[in-house]
Each structure stands twice: as structure tokens, then as C-alpha cells.
């Protein structure tokens, strides 16, 4: 009897109608039995039925209660059965994994790398591009720029005078403000240190939507003429100088010799227009309000609700055209450009991140193809196993579930490791990225990114289960069960599936390798450009001398004094000074009009770059003297005015002539006197490896003593000497602050950081792709060779020579990768133009790169085929056949 | 309503007790309870089936189709391990309850 209590067989689903029928049968049995008993006791059948129903109570209600109780029970059981199945699949999968440890490890590693890299890049994209900007109502914040039809740069800084007019006349903004990047001398224990400051006009912080995390913004009172000085400090300064102390608001800082009260701390994210340590109130002086020429301020405006960027542009363009009419001498060529803050901050980084994300997606796809291939390969014995299961009644859905569970298991383990990889990769990415890339310091792992990783794990599991599922879910039962395990798996169908996977991997890898190759060639082309000056063992110290040395005589004396002090420092080879150092972030370049004596003026005078320099500048930086002489003691303030020109200027303005001895006049120097050209120096690249030398004129400091001076020092192990050099400077004047100091190597390296980041990221991805694709190719060729061991043994027994066999195997490897290479070449041709903006000195369709990468993949295929070929050929042919 | 609630608890424990150590179909359970209580509780047969199906949902009893003595198909019930525990606990509770009521009601 207890035999009937066995569990109902798996997969039997009790339908609703069946439940109802059973309840009905059970209750009817009860009533019928009672009726027949009552009849036996002598009641008439009708009376018996009436009595039985009376004793039963509410038949309908009972039926409903029983049916719904049974239905709930059935539902629970189904759910449990499903979980049991999944659990048994998990255990089965785990067993399979242990049995095929090497294949599983390979799959897990592949997925870990894929998920890790993708998660890291997504994290960067998410934090930099997708999250809202850290400003209130940031979508209404517009950055405002001047335009000048004479300039190529479409966004020029703003002059205070023009901004003043815009603010008076425009109607579209609810708040507008200017920020002037400047610096204050912050004194700590007597040592002045120049710290960056944003001097902001009333309305600037409101327009930007920047809100202090402690304390308050500036109030209108802070802008009154006799207001006591106040500042807002950056989060960084709060942490470093005050250790994040909560009582910082109300403390004072010694700034430019006076005390300023800290009224608040800004959040770390407030960095527009550039990272700064302090914010201070700025009132536009009367002189500034009419200065429509000096463009050096950053302007922002907050749109009134409902106003679009386009309307703002139209409004400001209207204002600009009025200004052009009113002030033709200054504003004739000037206009306004409105750029949404978001576009300004993220416009350039967006394509970079999208490129990286595209690249990492390719890596992930290769990884999925790899896992799919591995699972197909591992499915040699699985074919039989699954066929047996199918013949025992497992449904197609059931088998699919099992495959997906197994690949989910692999993906889950891979994903966990991948998150660890992502963590490390993100740290690396942040370290590699240039400090001025927007929001890169905010990148990290968090809930959103982890959720993305989770989705990724599920997606990769499904993707890598597709191929095996297609293959295995409709096993040919008869063939598989009857035939040997080999014939069951080596069908043309299977081969085609794996061929497609390899083609996909090869083509994806080729696209990545071509991209990385192009970037690499760009980088090499760029860095092999001669800069025109020496980089190693040079340091620079930038100072502004005006405040402490108001007269020309004082400045001239101080400059000589400092240069000689540096030169006399132990270990120093040479020292010099220049007003605008190439590659310097705070390069103060000035353009002046050039008139050449004895040459008729046709129209407007040409503009050339003008800098002040000492002779020591050229010798220290090893900028060669090509003709004539450098400055020397003869070129005193009262001596005849002289200049040096560079070769670019000589080529441009004196083609086929000897410029030495010619007289030129520079428009902007304080005394526009004719100056004699006494020498020609070599060209330098002014701001980056890819910037072409421009015509330049050098005027001796001794004759025009500017206060803007960047000292350069050549010394053994210069970087380590920097602190000592700073002390030497203070030994001359301990009130003099140093605005900026760095090694020249740092200055030059800074300009390459972003390119290096592109190269490293794309290079790493393409290397990954190559490794993954190699594994994929090796797996398939190895498998194919193993399939043909018999055939090869027979061929050899029949007299085939080893080289012929080797050629045969290598050829099969080649046949495998060729379609992938062709597809990849076509895809790369279509895709590399998106890289164009990152390339230098190489075309997006550079034939050499395409050919080299293709050859590399062919080589990989041949190597992947060679290993199994060796293995087969090393044994005796007879043994191969016997096995 | 109060009576029904009391009754349902009563029916559950009576059904569990009746099934102790044996497998019975619903009719046999009803007959057994009626016989032992001499019909004093007047339990409707429908309530009995509702109790059986609810307790099966809760995992206290399990059922399977078999054949009655008459040869007809009938649904048989037996206790599960959880049902046996429940029966022991409920029985003890009911006896304590009944004794307490009895102590009050018995003439001093």
C-alpha cells in the first residue's frame, strides 16, 4: 500500500482541471459510499441521498476550498521542483567543471578578463559621462566665449569689458559671472607659496550652481568696497591644510600679506574653469569695465527657466553686433559663443571613452566566443551525455536550462574574479589619466557599476551558451547513441559552428590590433619628433616679479641676480631665463606686429610670437645658434636694441636673404624702436609634439625687463635639486613666491599623458584580444587535428612524408583564420576613421599597419596549428591508429 | 463564527489523531470520528475534507489514490513527520485545555 506514496514522477504537471476532477471524485466517493450505507440500513435511495448531503454541509464551498488548497500546494511543489532542478544542474555543472578543470579554468579566466575590463571601462563612462554634473541645475549653465574672425580658436577667453556689456544688455540669463584665474601668495611660517585662486565676480557661483559643503557663498556685502577679505577654500585645501577640521569656517589665512577669513568649503567636484585652491570675491574696476581687449577670464551664465542655449546664443550675438558697431576699433571682428557647460567639460572626453567602450566590448565578444568554443570543444563527450538524457525523456527546454546553468556557473565565478580585476584596472586607469581629465578622480566601483557587472555576467553566460545550445539541444539521438563518440561530434555542422566562432574572434581581434597599431605608430611618430630643445635634467621655476620689483631697473637687476644665483648653485651646469617656456602650462605668449625696415607695408602687419630671454636660456635648453651671436654683455639697457629670430621667422620673412643686421620694429614692446637682428636660433615646438614651430622673436631681458620670468636650470639629477633651487631663490628674496615649478620632463610628459592613456588602454585590449583569439584558434585547430589522428596515421602508414602532413595541418589552420582576417580588415577599414582625431602622422587606413596585423594573426594561426601537428607527428603512426 | 473557529481546530486535531499510525480515506476518517464521539460533535463531512486539504497544503498530511474495500478508487491520507509532531503538540494542548475547563466545571 505504501508504494502509492512514491513521489509523482518529475515533469508531470497537474493541470487545474485535473485537480478539480480529483477533488470532485474524492467528494463524490464519500457521498456515494454514505448513500449506499444508508440504503443498506433501509432508507430509500432518495432519502439516503438527501441525508448524506445534509450531513456533508455546503458541498460547493467545500469543493472550492479543497481545489484552491490543492492548487496552492501544486504551485509550491512546482517551484520547489524547478529549484531542485537548477540546484542539481549546478551540482552537475560543478562536477563537469572539476572533471574538465583546464577547460573550465580557461573559460573562467577568459570571462573574468572580459567582465573585468568591461566593468572598468563602464565605470569610467558612468562616472564621467552618465552622471549628472555636480552643479545645481547644470543643464541651464552655459559657458560664454568670445570669438574673433581673425583667430582659428573658436572659443577665446572673455575680456572683462565685453562681459560687462553682455551682462548689461542680455536678457536671457538669471545670473552671470566672471572668474579670473589668478594666484595669491599664501604664507605659512613666513614662506610665501603661490596658490591658484579663482577671483569670481558677484553672481559667478550662483550662475555656475556651485554650493559650498560647509559655510556659505559670498554675499553682496562681501563685494562692498570696504568689506573685510573673505575666501572659500577647496575641499583639497580643507583636507590637507586643516585635516578636514569641522571648525574651519571662521579661520583666517595669511594671503598676500593680509588676513582673509574662510567663509566656506567648496565640494571637491567644483573645478570650473580650472581646479583651484581658493575662491575670492572680485569687483570689476572701472578700468576693467572698459577693457574689451584683454581676453583672459572665464564667463558663465545661468539661463532663465525655459530659455534654450540657441536663444541665448541669438541674444548674445545681437548684443555682440551692437558692440561691434559701437566700438569698431576693438570689437569689429568679435562675436560670442555659447557652449553648454556639459559640452565644454565632457565634449572632448566623450569620444575617447566611447572608443574605449567600443574596444572593450569587442574584447568581451571575443571572450564570449572563446567560452562558447571551449564549451563546444568540451562537448565531445557531452553530445552523448545529452543524447542519453534526451532519450530518457528530458525535454529540449530542460537541456537548454542545464547548458545555461552551466555557463552561468562559469560566468558567475569569472564575474567575481572579473570584479577584482576591474577594481585593479580602475585604479590603474585613474593613475594613468592626466590630472586635468574631467571627473576621472571620481571613478570607482559602486552599486551601479556592480549592477552592470551582474547584468554582464548574465549576458555573457547567455551569449556563450547560444552556440552549444543550438548544437546540443537537438542532438541526433540515433546517430549519437549508436555511433562512436567521435563520429557524433565531428560532423560538418559542428565544424562550421566552430569555424564561425574562430572567424568572429579573429576579425574582432584584428579590428582592435589595427586600432592599437595605428595609435602605436602615431605615438612613435609623435615622440620621435625633435622638439628643438633638451628635456632631460632641466627644471623650470616660474615667478612674477612685478609686485616686489616695481621699476624696470629693479626687475633687470633681480633677473640677473637670480640667474647668477642659480648658475652658482653646486651641481648646476647652466641656467637661463625666458618669458615663455615651450610646453609650459602657464606659458604667457605674446603676439606682436612685426615691421621690417626697408620693406613696404602692404595692408596689416603680420603677427609674430615675441618672448624675452637671456643668452643663458638658449645654452641651457641647448637651442642651437644657427647664425650670428647670442645676447651678451654688450646688450645693456642703454645699448642699441637687438633681437634674435628663429629659423621659422627667417624662412618666412627673409626667404633667400640674410636677415643678420636687418632692422625690425616690434609693435608691442614698450619702446617701439628699430631693433637689429643679431642672430638666428633653432626652431622649437611651442606647446606639443605635434605643434609646428612658429616664427619667433627674442628680445633680451636686459633691454625689456619684464616681470614674467621662467628660469630654466640644467643640473645633474635636476628633479632632486628642485627644493634646493627654491631655497636659493628665497635666499635672494624670501618674500618672492614661486608660481610654478616642474622638471621640463614633466612639462613635456604632461602633453603626452592622454595619448599614452589611449595607447595603453587600447594596447592592453588588443593584446588581450590577441591572446584570447589565439586560445580560440589553438583550441579549434588542436581539436581538428585530434579528430584526424586516425587519418594522419593511415596516411603516414601509406608513406606520406612528415613535411607533407605538417603542411596539411598548417594549411588547415590558415584556412580557419583567413575568413576572419578578411572580415576583420573590412570592419577595420570602416571603423578606424573614428580614431582619426587620435592619430598623428599615420592615415586611418595605413596599409603597413593593416598588413602587419594580418601577418601577425596568420603567424598566430600557424603557431597554434604547429603545436598539435608536432604532437601528432612525434608518435609512431601505428600507435596513433591503434589508440 | 466563534463556533466554527473552535470547530476547525477541533476537526484538525481529531483528523490528525484518527490518522495516527494508519492510512485512511476521507469516508473512513469521518466514520471513525463519528463512531468514537458517538456523533456528539456533529461535524459536517464537508468540514472534514476542507481540513484534510488545508493540512495537506501545510504538509501535515499527504495523500495518494488507492482502492477502497469496495474496489472503488478512493483518496487515502496519512500523516507526515510534521503531521505527527503537530498531532502530539495539539493533543497535549487540547488535553490541558479540557482538563482546565473540567476542573472549573466539576462540582467542588
Q: What is the pLDDT of residues B24-37, one digit of tens each?
A: 999 999 999 888 87
Cα-Cα-Cα-Cα torsion A664, A667, A670, A672, nearest 10 degrees, comes to 40
Mean pLDDT value of segment A743-764: 86
pLDDT in tens, A709-737: 999 999 999 889 988 998 899 899 888 88
Closest among A632, A671, A725 to A552, alpha carbons compared:
A671
pLDDT band at A174 (very low <50, low <70, confident <90, very high): very high
CB atoms within 10 A of CB A175: 20
Regarding whether A682 and A559 lie in a shared domain, the answer is yes
Indicate yes or no: CB of A69 within 8 angstroms of CB of B57. yes
pLDDT band at A491 (very low <50, low <70, confident <90, very high): low
Mean pLDDT value of segment A577-595: 84
Every domain of chain B and the residues it spans: 2-105
With beta carbons under 8 A apart, name residues in chain B contacting A34.
27, 45
Laid out side by side, the sheet with B61-67 consists of B24-25, B73-79, B61-67
Mean pLDDT value of segment A429-447: 76
| Best to test chain A binding among B25, B57, B82 (most A CBs inside 10 Å) | B57
Cell of residue A356, nine digits: 574605449
Query: For residue A379, what pLDDT is reported?
Result: 63
In a domain, A143, yes or no: no
Contacts of B79 (CB under 8 A, 6+ apart): B16, B19, B20, B60, B61, B87
Indicate yes or no: CB of B30 within 8 angstroms of CB of A30. yes
C-alpha to C-alpha distances, A33 to A49, A63, A502, B63, nearest whole angstrom = 10, 17, 72, 19
Indicate yes or no: CB of A29 within 8 angstroms of CB of B74. yes
Query: For residue A480, what pLDDT is reported?
Result: 54
Indicate yes or no: CB of A66 within 8 angstroms of CB of B78. no
In a domain, A598, yes or no: yes
pLDDT in tens, A353-377: 888 888 888 888 888 888 887 777 6
Regarding whether A372 and A315 lie in a shared domain, the answer is no
Name the domain boundary from A691, A716, A741. Answer: A716
Whether the pLDDT of residue A687 is over 70: the answer is yes
For chain A, the domain total comes to 4
Whether the pLDDT of residue B102 is over 50: the answer is yes
pLDDT band at B3 (very low <50, low <70, confident <90, very high): very low
Whether the pLDDT of residue A476 is over 60: the answer is no
CB atoms within 10 A of CB A145: 20
CB atoms within 10 A of CB A334: 23
- Chain B touched by A22 (CB under 8 Å): yes
What whole-number distance in Å separates Cα of residue A272 and Cα of residue A198? Answer: 9
Regarding whether A407 and A287 lie in a shared domain, the answer is no
> Nearest C-alpha of chain B: how many angstroms from A486?
47
Query: For residue A11, what pLDDT is reported?
Result: 40
What whole-number distance in Å separates Cα of residue A448 and Cα of residue A452? Answer: 6
Contact present, A677 and A664 (Cβ < 8 Å) = yes
Mean pLDDT value of segment A563-575: 94
Angle, vertex CA A243, rays to CA A238 and CA A247, nearest 5: 70
Whether the pLDDT of residue A380 is over 60: the answer is no
In a domain, A105, yes or no: no
With beta carbons under 8 A apart, name residues in chain A contacting B62.
5
Query: For residue B27, what pLDDT is reported?
Result: 92
pLDDT in tens, A797-838: 787 787 887 888 788 778 888 999 999 999 999 988 888 888
Regarding whether A167 and A240 lie in a shared domain, the answer is yes
DSSP for A707-735? SEEEEEEEETTHHHHHHHHHHHHHHH-TT
pLDDT in tens, A642-672: 999 999 999 999 999 999 999 998 874 455 7
Closest by Cβ to A69, choosing from B44, B47, B56: B56
Contact present, A772 and A113 (Cβ < 8 Å) = yes
In a domain, A119, yes or no: no
Q: What is the CATH number of domain B2-105?
A: 1.10.10.10
User: What DSSP designation does A837 have?
Assistant: G
What whole-number distance in Å separates Cα of residue A865 and Cα of residue A776? Answer: 11
Indicate yes or no: CB of A34 within 8 angstroms of CB of B62. no
- Chain B touched by A29 (CB under 8 Å): yes
Query: For residue A30, what pLDDT is reported?
Result: 93
Q: How many CB pairs under 8 A join A and B?
A: 77
In a domain, A420, yes or no: yes
> Nearest C-alpha of chain B: how many angstroms from A24?
11
C-alpha to C-alpha distances, A449 to A438, A486, A488, nearest whole angstrom = 19, 44, 43
pLDDT in tens, A288-302: 888 887 788 899 999
Contacts of A67 (CB under 8 A, 6+ apart): A19, A20, A23
With beta carbons under 8 A apart, name residues in chain B contacting A55.
44-45
Whether the pLDDT of residue B5 is over 50: the answer is no
Closest by Cβ to B57, choosing from A2, A58, A73: A73
Indicate yes or no: CB of B62 within 8 angstroms of CB of A59. no
Closest among A22, A32, A34, A33 to B53, alpha carbons compared:
A22
Regarding whether A322 and A358 lie in a shared domain, the answer is no
Query: For residue A759, what pLDDT is reported?
Result: 86
Regarding whether A274 and A156 lie in a shared domain, the answer is yes
Mean pLDDT value of segment A851-873: 82
Residue of chain A nearest B39, judged by CA positions: A55
Query: For residue A678, what pLDDT is reported?
Result: 96
Regarding whether A357 and A318 lie in a shared domain, the answer is no
With beta carbons under 8 A apart, name residues in chain B contacting A72.
57
What whole-number distance in Å separates Cα of residue A31 and Cα of residue A27? Answer: 6
Query: For residue A9, what pLDDT is reported?
Result: 40
With beta carbons under 8 A apart, name residues in chain A contacting B23.
1-2
Mean pLDDT value of segment B43-59: 91
| Best to test chain A binding among B3, B46, B68, B78 (most A CBs inside 10 Å) | B46
* Coil, strand or helix at B24: strand
Mean pLDDT value of segment A27-31: 92
Closest by Cβ to A59, choosing from B46, B56, B75: B46
pLDDT in tens, A507-533: 999 998 998 899 889 989 988 889 999
With beta carbons under 8 A apart, name residues in chain B contacting A4.
64-66, 76
Regarding whether A172 and A269 lie in a shared domain, the answer is yes
Give the B-side interface with A, CB within 8 Å: 23, 25-27, 30, 44-47, 49-50, 52-54, 56-57, 62, 64-66, 68, 70, 72-76, 78
Residue of chain A nearest B73, judged by CA positions: A29
Contact present, A700 and A614 (Cβ < 8 Å) = yes
In a domain, A22, yes or no: yes
Cell of residue A364, nine digits: 568581451
Query: For residue A499, what pLDDT is reported?
Result: 80
Regarding whether A652 and A578 lie in a shared domain, the answer is yes
Regarding whether A283 and A178 lie in a shared domain, the answer is yes
User: What DSSP designation does A836 have?
Assistant: G
Indicate yes or no: CB of A33 within 8 angstroms of CB of B54. no
> Nearest C-alpha of chain A: how many angstroms from B75?
6
Name the domain boundary from A305, A332, A359. Answer: A332
Query: For residue B74, what pLDDT is reported?
Result: 92
What whole-number distance in Å separates Cα of residue A668 and Cα of residue A752? Answer: 33
List of long-range contacts for A77-86, beta carbons under 8 Å, 24+ apart: A78/A13, A81/A10, A85/A398, A85/A401, A86/A401, A86/A405
HEC assignment per residue over A415-457: HHHHHHHHHHHHHHHHHHCCCCCCCHHHCCCCHHHHHHHHHHH
In a domain, A744, yes or no: no
Could you tell me which residue, A104 or A474, shows the higher pLDDT?
A104
Query: For residue A764, what pLDDT is reported?
Result: 87
Mean pLDDT of chain A: 85
Contacts of A129 (CB under 8 A, 6+ apart): A346, A349, A350, A353
Query: For residue A860, what pLDDT is reported?
Result: 85
**Count H helices, E strands: chain B?**
4, 3
Query: For residue A880, what pLDDT is reported?
Result: 53
pLDDT band at A14 (very low <50, low <70, confident <90, very high): low
Which ipTM value was assigned to this complex? 0.89
Could you tell me which residue, A599 or A31, shows the higher pLDDT?
A31
In a domain, A506, yes or no: yes
Query: For residue A474, what pLDDT is reported?
Result: 57
Closest by Cβ to A62, choosing from B23, B49, B76: B49
Query: For residue A372, what pLDDT is reported?
Result: 81
C-alpha to C-alpha distances, A408 to A24, A85, A455, A669, A798, nearest whole angstrom = 44, 15, 11, 73, 47
Cα-Cα-Cα-Cα torsion A815, A820, A821, A823, nearest 10 degrees, comes to 130
- Picking from A2-11, A475-484, B79-88, which range would have the lowest pLDDT averaged per residue? A2-11
What whole-number distance in Å separates Cα of residue B30 and Cα of residue B40? Answer: 13
Share of chain A above pLDDT 90, in %: 36
Regarding whether A704 and A802 lie in a shared domain, the answer is no
Task: Write out the residue range of the structural domain in which residue A285 sits.
Answer: 151-332
Share of chain A above pLDDT 70, in %: 91
E strands along A745-875, which residues?
none
What whole-number distance in Å separates Cα of residue B27 and Cα of residue A447? Answer: 60
Query: For residue A779, what pLDDT is reported?
Result: 75
- Chain B touched by A871 (CB under 8 Å): no
Closest among A763, A772, A689, A112 to A428, alpha carbons compared:
A763
Indicate yes or no: CB of A56 within 8 angstroms of CB of B45. yes
Q: What are phi and psi of A179, to 5 degrees?
A: -120, 130
What whole-number distance in Å separates Cα of residue A257 and Cα of residue A148? Answer: 39
> Nearest C-alpha of chain B: how many angstroms from A86?
23
Indicate yes or no: CB of B53 within 8 angstroms of CB of A70. yes
* Coil, strand or helix at A106: helix
C-alpha atoms less than 13 angstroms from C-alpha of A768 in its C-beta half-sphere? 25
Regarding whether A294 and A165 lie in a shared domain, the answer is yes
Share of chain B above pLDDT 70, in %: 92
Amino acid at each position: 500500500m505504501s508504494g502509492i506514496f512514491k513521489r509523482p514522477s518529475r515533469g508531470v504537471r497537474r493541470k487545474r482541471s485535473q485537480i478539480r476532477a480529483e477533488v470532485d471524485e474524492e467528494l463524490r466517493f464519500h457521498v456515494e459510499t454514505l448513500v449506499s450505507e444508508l440504503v443498506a440500513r433501509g432508507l430509500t435511495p432518495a432519502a439516503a441521498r438527501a441525508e448524506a448531503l445534509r450531513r456533508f454541509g455546503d458541498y460547493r464551498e467545500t469543493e472550492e476550498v479543497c481545489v484552491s488548497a490543492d492548487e496552492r500546494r501544486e504551485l509550491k511543489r512546482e517551484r520547489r521542483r524547478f529549484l531542485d532542478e537548477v540546484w542539481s544542474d549546478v551540482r552537475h555543472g560543478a562536477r563537469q567543471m572539476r572533471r574538465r578543470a583546464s577547460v573550465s579554468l580557461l573559460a573562467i579566466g577568459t570571462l573574468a578578463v572580459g567582465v573585468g575590463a568591461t566593468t572598468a571601462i563602464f565605470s569610467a563612462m558612468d562616472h564621467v559621462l552618465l552622471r549628472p554634473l555636480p552643479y545645481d541645475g547644470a543643464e541651464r549653465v552655459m559657458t560664454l566665449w568670445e570669438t574673433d574672425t581673425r583667430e582659428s580658436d573658436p572659443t577665446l577667453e572673455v575680456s572683462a569689458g565685453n562681459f560687462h556689456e553682455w551682462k548689461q544688455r542680455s536678457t536671457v540669463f538669471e545670473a552671470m559671472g566672471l572668474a579670473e584665474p589668478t594666484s595669491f601668495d599664501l604664507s605659512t611660517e613666513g614662506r610665501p607659496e603661490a596658490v591658484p585662486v579663482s577671483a569670481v565676480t558677484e553672481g559667478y557661483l550662483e550662475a555656475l550652481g556651485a554650493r559650498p559643503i560647509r559655510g556659505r557663498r559670498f554675499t553682496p556685502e562681501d563685494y562692498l568696497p570696504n568689506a573685510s577679505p573673505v575666501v572659500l577654500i577647496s575641499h583639497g585645501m580643507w583636507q590637507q591644510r586643516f585635516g578636514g577640521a569641522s571648525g574651519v569656517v571662521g579661520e583666517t589665512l595669511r594671503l598676500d600679506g593680509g588676513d582673509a577669513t574662510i567663509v566656506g568649503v567648496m565640494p571637491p567636484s567644483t573645478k570650473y574653469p580650472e581646479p583651484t585652491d581658493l575662491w575670492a570675491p572680485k569687483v570689476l574696476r572701472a578700468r576693467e569695465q572698459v577693457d574689451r581687449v584683454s581676453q583672459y577670464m572665464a564667463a558663465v551664465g545661468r539661463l532663465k527657466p525655459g530659455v534654450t542655449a540657441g536663444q541665448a546664443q541669438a541674444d548674445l550675438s545681437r548684443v555682440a553686433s551692437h558692440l561691434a558697431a559701437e566700438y569698431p576699433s576693438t570689437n569689429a571682428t568679435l562675436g560670442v559663443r555659447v557652449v553648454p557647460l556639459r559640452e565644454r567639460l565632457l565634449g572632448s572626453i566623450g569620444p575617447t571613452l566611447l572608443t574605449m567602450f567600443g574596444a572593450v566590448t569587442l574584447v568581451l565578444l571575443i571572450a564570449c566566443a572563446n567560452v562558447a568554443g571551449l564549451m563546444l570543444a568540451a562537448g565531445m563527450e557531452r553530445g552523448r551525455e545529452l543524447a542519453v538524457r534526451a532519450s530518457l525523456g528530458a525535454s529540449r527546454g530542460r537541456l537548454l536550462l542545464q547548458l545555461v546553468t552551466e555557463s552561468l556557473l562559469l560566468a558567475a565565478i569569472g564575474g567575481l574574479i572579473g570584479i577584482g580585476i576591474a577594481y585593479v584596472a580602475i585604479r590603474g586607469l585613474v593613475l594613468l589619466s592626466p590630472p586635468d581629465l574631467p571627473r576621472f578622480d571620481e571613478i570607482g566601483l559602486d552599486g551601479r557599476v556592480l549592477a552592470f557587472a551582474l547584468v554582464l555576467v548574465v549576458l555573457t553566460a547567455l551569449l556563450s551558451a547560444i552556440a552549444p545550445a543550438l548544437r546540443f539541444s537537438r542532438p541526433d539521438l540515433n546517430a549519437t547513441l549508436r555511433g562512436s563518440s567521435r563520429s557524433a561530434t565531428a560532423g560538418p555542422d559542428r565544424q562550421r559552428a566552430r569555424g564561425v566562432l574562430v572567424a568572429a574572434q579573429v576579425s574582432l581581434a584584428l579590428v582592435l590590433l589595427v586600432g592599437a597599431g595605428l595609435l602605436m605608430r602615431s605615438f612613435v611618430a609623435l615622440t620621435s619628433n625633435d622638439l628643438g630643445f633638451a628635456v632631460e635634467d632641466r627644471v623650470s621655476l616660474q615667478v612674477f616679479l612685478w609686485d616686489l620689483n616695481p621699476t624696470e631697473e629693479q626687475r633687470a637687476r633681480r633677473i640677473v641676480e637670480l640667474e647668477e644665483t642659480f648658475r652658482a648653485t653646486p651641481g648646476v651646469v647652466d641656467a637661463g631665463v625666458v618669458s615663455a617656456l615651450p610646453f609650459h602650462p602657464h606659458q604667457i605668449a605674446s603676439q606682436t606686429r612685426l615691421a621690417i625696415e626697408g620693406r613696404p607695408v602692404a595692408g596689416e602687419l603680420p603677427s609674430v610670437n615675441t618672448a624675452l630671454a637671456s643668452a643663458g636660456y638658449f645654452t641651457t635648453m641647448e637651442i642651437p645658434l644657427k647664425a650670428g651671436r647670442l645676447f651678451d654683455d654688450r646688450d645693456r639697457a642703454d645699448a642699441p636694441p637687438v633681437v634674435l629670430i628663429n629659423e621659422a621667422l627667417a624662412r618666412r620673412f627673409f626667404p633667400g636673404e640674410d636677415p643678420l643686421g636687418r632692422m625690425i620694429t616690434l609693435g608691442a614692446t614698450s619702446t617701439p624702436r628699430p631693433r637689429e637682428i643679431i642672430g638666428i636660433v633653432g626652431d622649437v615646438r611651442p606647446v606639443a609634439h605635434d605643434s609646428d614651430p612658429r616664427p619667433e622673436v627674442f628680445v633680451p631681458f636686459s633691454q625689456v625687463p619684464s616681470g614674467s620670468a621662467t628660469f630654466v636650470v640644467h643640473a645633474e639629477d635636476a628633479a632632486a635639486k628642485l627644493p634646493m633651487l627654491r631655497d636659493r631663490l628665497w635666499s635672494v628674496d624670501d618674500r618672492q613666491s614661486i608660481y610654478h615649478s616642474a622638471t621640463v620632463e614633466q612639462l613635456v610628459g604632461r602633453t603626452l599623458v592622454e595619448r599614452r592613456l589611449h595607447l595603453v588602454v587600447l594596447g592592453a585590449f588588443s593584446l588581450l584580444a590577441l591572446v584570447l583569439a589565439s586560445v580560440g584558434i589553438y583550441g579549434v585547430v588542436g581539436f581538428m587535428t585530434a579528430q584526424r589522428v586516425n587519418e594522419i596515421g593511415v596516411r603516414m602508414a601509406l608513406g606520406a612524408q612528415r613535411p607533407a602532413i605538417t603542411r596539411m595541418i598548417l594549411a588547415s589552420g590558415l584556412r580557419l583564420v583567413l575568413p576572419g582576417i578578411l572580415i576583420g580588415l573590412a570592419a577595420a577599414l570602416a571603423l578606424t576613421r573614428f580614431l582619426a582625431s587620435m592619430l598623428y602622422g599615420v592615415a586611418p587606413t595605413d596599409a603597413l599597419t593593416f598588413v602587419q596585423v594580418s601577418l601577425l594573426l596568420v603567424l598566430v594561426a600557424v603557431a597554434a596549428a604547429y603545436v598539435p601537428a608536432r604532437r601528432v607527428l612525434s608518435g609512431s603512426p601505428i600507435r596513433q591508429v591503434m589508440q | 463564527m466563534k463556533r466554527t473557529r473552535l470547530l476547525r481546530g477541533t476537526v484538525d486535531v481529531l483528523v490528525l489523531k484518527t490518522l495516527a499510525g494508519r492510512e485512511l480515506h476521507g469516508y473512513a476518517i469521518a466514520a471513525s470520528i463519528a463512531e468514537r464521539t458517538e456523533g456528539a460533535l456533529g461535524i459536517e463531512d464537508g468540514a472534514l475534507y476542507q481540513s484534510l486539504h488545508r493540512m495537506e497544503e501545510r504538509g501535515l498530511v499527504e495523500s495518494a489514490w488507492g482502492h477502497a474495500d469496495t474496489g472503488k478508487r478512493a483518496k487515502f491520507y496519512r500523516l507526515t513527520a510534521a503531521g505527527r509532531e503537530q498531532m502530539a503538540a495539539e493533543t497535549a494542548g487540547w488535553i490541558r485545555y479540557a482538563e482546565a475547563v473540567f476542573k472549573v466545571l466539576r462540582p467542588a
